[in-house]
Each structure stands twice: as structure tokens, then as C-alpha cells.
Homo-oligomer: A and B are copies of this chain.
Amino acid sequence: MATAHVFIATSLDGFIARPDGDIDWLLQRDDANEDHGYADFIADKDLIVMGRGTYEKMLTLGPWTYDRPVLVLSKQLADAAVPEALQGKVRFSGSAPREVMDTLARQNVRRVYVDGGQLVQSFLRDGLVADMVITTVPVLLGSGRRLFGALSRDIDWTLLSSRSFPSGLVQSSYRQVP
């Protein structure tokens, strides 16, 4: 079985980006002297899945920095060719989250990092997220793209740990209650 894991930052009011996708408010508050644990988090992940929105945003941010294989879930990109510079690093798939996780398990992929708001919402709706590390940035934006979306039922979590940083970030780790 493959498990899905979330590591994401949000504003105090639950936005991961402004309405136009802008994340400058987040980057400006990212204190390079603080270790927010991404390296530890990614160390035991085999693969990253992301949606088209996140993929296209990452393309605009300069050189590809992911050191894990990336699977982009997008019906629109499913039949497209991967750009030459990203071959061997990126694959496209048009499958739904549950199907993707089953396929990955057969490929011996065990731990998957789910990146990007829309995709996190899809994985949550399907009950596929094993745990989440949520980092809350001390700013209210008032509008934007939400981390969490509609659900057909409550989802309960066990708090694993919580810590805060001098910059004002609060980072809490949750495991889904089965």
C-alpha cells in the first residue's frame, strides 16, 4: 500500500495563495535561518504528486529543484510530452487519486508527498491522506486559494506534535484517525 502525506503552508485564514496564485506573502515571511523541516519530511518520501496548477507555477519559479520523481496528475496534460529538460524527472497521468495510489503501490512506491491545494483537497475527499504537516503563517489575507475544501463527512485527526518558530510560524503535524 502507498500512503499520501501533506506538507504545506497556509495563511491564518486558510489560504495557500492569493486569488491569482501569488505566494510572495509566503516567500517574504520564509526566514532562511529557520529549519521548517522540509528536508526531514521529504527524506522518506519516494515520489511527489502535484496538480497541473502547482506544476505550471513551479515551471515559472526557475530551475527544477525537486530531487524526487514528480507525477503530475492532469487530464489535460495526460497525453502531452514531458518537456525535454524534465524527462526522467517528471511524468504525467490522467488518473484519479485512488487509482494513482494503487498503481504506485504496484510500482513499489510507498510514501507519496501530495503537493498543491487542489490535489490535497482531492486526496482528502477520497480519504487518502495519512498525515499532514500544516505550517500557519501569521497573516490574514482575506481572500485567495483555499487549502481545504468541501467534504462529504468530517475527518478527524490526531495531533502528533506542534511547534512554533521565532518568525511566528506555527507548525502542527496530524495523523488521520482511521
Interface residues of A (CB under 8 A from B): 12-14, 25, 124, 134, 136, 138-143, 147-159, 161-164, 168-170, 172, 174
A152 touches B142 (CB 8 A): yes
Q: Which residues of chain B come closer than 8 Å to A152, judged between CB atoms?
A: 142
15 A–B contacts from the bound complex (CB under 8 Å): A13-B147, A25-B154, A138-B156, A139-B155, A139-B157, A140-B155, A140-B157, A141-B154, A142-B150, A142-B155, A158-B168, A159-B164, A159-B169, A159-B170, A162-B162
Determine how close the nearest CB of chain B comes to the CB of A4; give it in whole angstroms: 15
The 10 closest A-B pairs by CB, nearest first: A142-B151, A159-B168, A13-B148, A162-B164, A138-B157, A140-B155, A14-B14, A162-B170, A142-B150, A170-B172
Q: Most chain-B CB neighbours within 10 Å: which of A156, A159, A163?
A: A159
Give Cα A30 to B162, complex, Å. Answer: 19
